[in-house]
């Protein structure tokens, strides 16, 4: 069976080159006689794998030396709790609500301290990013939190909020490594890797070391959620998600080979333009996001007719386009076009959409 075009929001498409390398090394990694799935995380071979992965990530993102990189188990939903546990030293944080995941992160943080919702786009079903240039942020908050790219609703912060001098914490799960980033503008950048970087089960946390120098804000913080401990042990406090980190390392090298994050951004802009240009002229399909806030990674769209949406999803699947059904909370369709989605996949999707429109008008 030939491979389908996988438009899943996550777990998502991975580079074929990476998958083939992993397959080639499955039984014997570089002559060590075993799979990465089998080897000890304390072995010299694995130590080289995880250290090289961190080095390549630092190179790609130009991560300064005063930021720690942590690879640990779980996904972004676990970090919803880790953020307040590690950073809420004054017991208060500001959250900007631009979708389901920021909303859930705020609800989780309320278990550990006071949450002030300083902006929201809920009034228009999260179809835009609110103006964050002059927010009413209390002086005593520990941080300002955003979900930078909203997977479900297809919006993106193209301009970071004015935090009024407070630390910015960003969940970048669905835009991780899709474009260049100035790490110094953030106190913390984190994400689950299963959308744009690797297989599910790994989270990457990039945190400025002074924020964790004294340990977590809350004494109740579990050891496994203590960023200082994880950083001091170089992500090897316990058995990490070894194979997932290994795959992430392969993806980092693939991005480097492709030309780095500038090249990734150009690649992603080209793909997104093909799809958005079609949506803007189509009489049947419509995008659901304000143009200025459109994501390059996640593109939601509708026909305006629920039955027609269902028909499109069913027929697209038969044609080899997988996972185009929108999130259960919003319906419609969504094409997630992460780094590893080839331009050819988007071109073929648009050709299919044109054909569907002609046949169902």
Q: Which residues are catalytic?
A: 101, 171, 195
Longest Cα–Cα distance of the chain, Å, equals: 64
- Alpha helical stretches, state H, the chain: 16-24, 44-61, 76-87, 100-109, 227-232, 242-258, 260-281, 306-318, 343-360
Whether 297 contacts 175, CB under 8 Å: yes
- DSSP secondary structure string, 49-116? HHHHHHHHHHHHHT--TTEEEEEEES-HHHHHHHHHHHH-SSSEEEEEE-SHHHHHHHHHHTTTSEEE
Of residues 105, 234, 237, the one with CA closest to residue 172: 105
**What DSSP state is assigned to residue 294?**
B
Q: Give the residue carrying structure tokens 């203590």.
A: 226
- Cα–chain center distance at 127: 18
State the residue for tokens 């631009």: 98
Interior/surface letters 223-261, b for 16+ CB within 10 angstroms, e for the rest: eebbbbbbbeebbbbeebbbbbbbbbbbbbbbbeeeebb
**Facing residues of 6 across strands?**
322
Q: Could you give the CA distance from residue 148 to residue 151 in angstroms, rounded to a whole number?
A: 9
Q: How far is CA 319 from CA 2, 308, 348, in A?
A: 12, 16, 10
Other Cβ atoms less than 10 A from the Cβ of 320: the count is 15
Ramachandran assignment for 272, one of left (phi > 0), alpha (psi -120 to 50 degrees), beta (any other): alpha
Contact 156, 296 (CB under 8 A): yes
């Amino acid at each position: 069976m030939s491979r389908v075009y996988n438009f899943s929001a996550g777990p998502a498409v991975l580079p074929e080159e990476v998958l083939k390398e992993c397959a080639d090394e499955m039984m014997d990694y570089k002559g060590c006689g075993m799979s990465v799935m089998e080897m000890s995380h304390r072995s010299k071979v694995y130590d080289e794998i995880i250290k090289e992965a961190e080095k390549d990530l630092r190179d790609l993102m130009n991560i300064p030396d005063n930021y720690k990189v942590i690879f640990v188990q779980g996904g972004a939903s676990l970090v919803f709790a880790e953020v307040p546990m590690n950073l809420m030293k004054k017991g208060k944080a500001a959250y900007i609500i631009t979708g389901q995941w920021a909303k859930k992160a705020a609800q989780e943080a309320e278990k550990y301290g006071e949450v002030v919702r300083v902006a929201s786009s809920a009034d228009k079903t999260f179809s835009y990013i609110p103006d964050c240039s002059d927010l009413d942020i209390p002086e005593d908050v520990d941080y300002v939190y955003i979900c930078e790219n909203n997977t479900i609703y297809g919006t993106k912060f193209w301009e970071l909020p004015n935090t009024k001098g407070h630390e910015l914490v960003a969940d970048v799960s669905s835009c991780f490594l899709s474009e260049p980033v100035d790490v110094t503008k953030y106190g913390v950048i984190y994400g689950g890797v299963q959308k744009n970087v690797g297989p599910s089960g790994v989270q990457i946390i990039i945190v400025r070391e002074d924020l964790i120098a004294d340990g977590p804000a809350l004494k109740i913080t579990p050891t496994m959620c203590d960023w200082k401990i994880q950083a001091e042990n170089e992500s090897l406090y316990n058995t990490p998600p070894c194979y997932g980190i290994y795959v992430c390392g392969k993806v980092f090298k693939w991005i480097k080979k492709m030309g780095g994050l500038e090249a990734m951004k150009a690649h992603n802009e080209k793909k997104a333009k093909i799809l958005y240009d079609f949506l803007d002229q189509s009489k049947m399909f419509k995008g659901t996001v304000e143009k200025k806030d459109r994501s390059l990674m996640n593109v939601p769209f509708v026909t305006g007719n629920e039955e027609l949406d269902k028909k499109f999803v069913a027929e697209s699947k038969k044609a080899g386009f997988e996972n185009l059904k929108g999130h259960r909370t919003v319906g419609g369709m969504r094409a997630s076009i992460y780094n590893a989605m080839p331009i050819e996949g988007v071109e073929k999707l648009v050709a299919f959409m044109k054909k569907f429109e002609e046949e169902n008008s």
